[in-house]
Amino acid sequence: MAQVAGPTAALAGIPAGLQAQGVWTGRRQLFVRFAAEAETATMYTADALANEIKRSTGRSTFHSISISGRDPLANVEYLCAAFEKAPKVLPVMLDCDGQRPEGINELRSVINLAQVTLEGAAVESLVERAMQSLKTAANVSLQHALVVCVDERMSDSLTLRIVEQAHAASEATMIVLHPGTGTPLDRDRRWMTLLERAAALHPDVRVALRLPPPTGMR
């Protein structure tokens, strides 16, 4: 009888690199990156991913594993199957847009940190489900973080409203505000004022620069 193949997924590789953003910025991680439409993809079975994690963590030192790329929570069954077989030697971070909160609950035995990233012109339309993702992570006792990439399209009032909503979702949320690339921080007191106002709404808010590619990865 022919064996039934396990779940597979299109990955943009399993590279080693430095985390570009969020609460583990600068940490050396092993990245499990789901491929976007424009990226070159390789099909990995769950067994192949588990074996690659075992090989990589056995021959080099990492702080953690990052699950990221295009819509990783569309692949919950695959991730559960792979990490069930992979060695549990490192913390695992999920970096997602927060639009599939139910997936965080399903991955609660796999991940240690759920990091929700909001960026781009459509931020306002994404906030409600992102907050539900933070609530879900809190309810299943996962560490959870919100990353807000504050570029020229985001007003301070919107940023503060998101901070306030994150506090309402979970008081344990770690919030990281990343200024847009090229922001003249040395000449702009906006960030001092913004952080002061944000800290009045939520106790754990920080402003930090992202690591640009190719040094920074996500």
What pLDDT digit, counting tens, does each position of 188-212 carry?
788 999 999 999 999 999 999 999 9
pLDDT of 38 reads 78
In the chain, the number of structural domains is: 1
Question: Which residue did the predictor score with more confidence, 163 or 121?
Answer: 163
Full-model pTM: 0.92
Q: How far is CA 66 from CA 30, 62, 149, 182, 212, in A?
A: 6, 11, 19, 26, 17
Residue 1 belongs to some domain of the structure? no
Task: Provide the β-strand partners of residue 179.
Answer: 150
Domain membership of residue 160 as a residue range: 8-217
pLDDT of res. 14: 96
Q: Under the phi-then-psi rule, with left for phi > 0, alpha for psi from -120 to 50, and beta for the rest, what region is 98?
A: left
In a domain, 43, yes or no: yes
Measured CA distances, 106 to 57, 67, 165 (Å): 25, 14, 24
User: Quick check: is 150 in a domain?
Assistant: yes
Q: What angle do CA 108, 130, 10 make, to 5 degrees?
A: 60
CATH number of the domain encompassing residue 112? 3.20.20.70
Is residue 33 one of the residues assigned to a domain?
yes
Domain assignment present for 147 = yes
Reported as a single tens digit per residue, the pLDDT across 55-94 is 999 999 999 999 999 999 999 999 999 999 999 999 999 9
Q: Which range among 1-10, 175-184, 202-211 has the greatest average pLDDT? A: 202-211
How many CB atoms are located within 10 Å of the residue 107 CB?
24
Residue 114: inside a domain? yes
Q: Is residue 35 part of a domain?
A: yes
Encoded tokens for 69: 């790329």
What tens digit of pLDDT does each residue of 103-117 get?
Answer: 999 999 999 999 999
User: Within 13 Å, how many C-alpha atoms sit on residue 198's CB side?
Assistant: 25
Cis link prior to 214 (omega < 30° from 0)? yes
**Domain presence at residue 2:** no
Rounded percentage of the chain residues whose pLDDT exceeds 70 = 95
